[in-house]
Amino acid sequence: MRRANNYNRLSRWYDALAGGSERQAAEQGWRQLDLRPGERVLELGPGTGHGLAAAAQAVGPAGRVAGLDLAEGMLQVARARLRAIGLAQRVALHHGDAMRLPYPAGAFDAVSMTFTLEVFDAPDLAQVLGECHRVLRPGGRLGVVAMARQEPPGLPVRLYLWAHARWPALIDCRPIAVRESVEAAHFDIVAAARLSVWGLPVDAVTATKR
């Protein structure tokens, strides 16, 4: 609940605070996911809705897009953005937790998470990725863009981890083993790119459900 409250407070200013710095990595993730007309797509943690808009345009009127976020404030901003560009009818927004997805098994052709997976505590990563696996059809695609663990960590990472330890409620993300976590959840990686955001390593990983 604390995490949701933080993002509710940030929702109006999120694009100004982080939108620009994250945009290049997010766009790389969507390119790798390679959405097609008519597909069914789920975005977890869609934030202010830029990714939802891109997905709705990619799948076209025959496709279906869903977005699920724990923060109602983010959903409100996303809803307003989709209405403004005429795509609200193509996207279903839901308030909920990625650890317990309210969708049936095999409901989607693709699932995307951008700067979302690393918000969860380490013991919960397998649960979130397991839910992604469950709601994907056989052979469906998973796209993850997340802050990546680096060994040894460079100075920007060390500074970030210091800030995360000092103010965990505000700086709630932390580097994770992106590729290893995805593979452990019974996915096969088909594309991966190492990127950098403010000097912090970020992995854009695309994988298929085994």
Taking the C-alpha atoms of residue 51 and residue 54, their distance in angstroms, rounded to an integer, is 5
- Predicted local distance difference test score (pLDDT) of residue 10: 52
pLDDT tier at 153 (50, 70, 90 boundaries)?
confident
Taking the C-alpha atoms of residue 206 and residue 210, their distance in angstroms, rounded to an integer, is 13
Task: Let me know: does 45 contact 69? Beta carbons within 8 Å.
Answer: yes
Number of structural domains, the chain? 1
pLDDT tier at 114 (50, 70, 90 boundaries)?
very high
Q: Residues near 3 by Cβ (< 8 Å), separated by ≥ 6? A: 70, 71, 119, 172
Q: Using one digit for the tens of pLDDT, what is the confidence trace for 16-55?
A: 455 556 788 999 999 999 999 999 999 999 989 999 999 9
User: Is the pLDDT at 179 greater than 50, yes or no?
Assistant: yes
**CATH code for the domain of 153:** 3.40.50.150
Domain span at residue 79 reads: 2-209
- Predicted local distance difference test score (pLDDT) of residue 2: 45
Average pLDDT over residues 79-106: 96
